């Protein structure tokens, strides 16, 4: 009689997993560019628009969609450019870049904690009767 309960639990969990995975596939894709731009702003980078053809040509020479270090005169700056998408670029200081890296580390740590807690909230780990 005990194994009937275990099979019912497994069937319910399997149905739940199928529903969860089906929901994952229906979710809209994450816009990586938008996420990167939000991270840059959160770290203190300033948005600049390339509103002339000369500015667009200048930012096309910068590696696209990644942070690069450059020297402007005797000043160190960090740049992120998107010449084709938003026709814009972000500028920041060393402090802003350091903050961006720190924010990314915190986000990864938070994600690991979330997955750890979600795993231990999983009923499969603590199903009654399995450790009998």
Query: Cβ(75)–Cβ(37) under 8 Å?
Result: no
What are the backbone angles phi and psi of residue 76, rounded to the nearest 5°?
A: -90, 130
Q: Could you read off the pLDDT of 29-79 as tens digits, one per residue?
A: 568 888 999 999 999 999 999 999 999 999 999 999 999 999 999 999 999
Taking the C-alpha atoms of residue 102 and residue 109, their distance in angstroms, rounded to an integer, is: 11
Rounded to 5 degrees, what are φ and ψ at 90?
A: -115, 140
- Per-residue DSSP letter, 80: E
Residue 109: C-alpha distances to residues 26, 34, 73, 103, 106 (Å): 26, 21, 37, 10, 5
φ, ψ of residue 54 in degrees (nearest 5): -65, -40
Mind listing the pLDDT tens digit for each residue in 79-132?
Answer: 999 999 999 999 999 999 999 999 999 998 888 887 877 776 666 655 555 555
Please count the helices (runs of H) and the strands (runs of E) in the chain: 4, 4
What is the signed CA dihedral for 57, 30, 119, 22, rounded to 10 degrees? -150
**CA pair distance 68, 39, nearest whole angstrom:** 15
């Amino acid at each position: 009689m005990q194994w009937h309960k275990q099979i019912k639990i497994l069937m319910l969990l399997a149905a739940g997993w199928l529903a969860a995975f089906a929901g994952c596939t229906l979710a809209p894709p994450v816009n990586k560019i938008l996420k990167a731009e939000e991270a840059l702003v959160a770290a203190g980078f300033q948005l600049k628009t390339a509103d002339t053809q000369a500015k667009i040509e200048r930012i096309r020479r910068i590696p696209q969609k990644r942070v690069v270090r450059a020297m402007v005169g005797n000043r160190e700056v960090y740049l992120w450019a998107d010449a084709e998408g938003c026709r814009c670029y972000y500028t920041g200081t060393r402090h802003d870049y350091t903050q961006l890296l720190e924010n990314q580390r915190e986000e990864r740590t938070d994600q690991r904690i979330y997955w750890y807690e979600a795993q231990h909230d999983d009923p499969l780990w603590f199903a009654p009767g399995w450790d009998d």
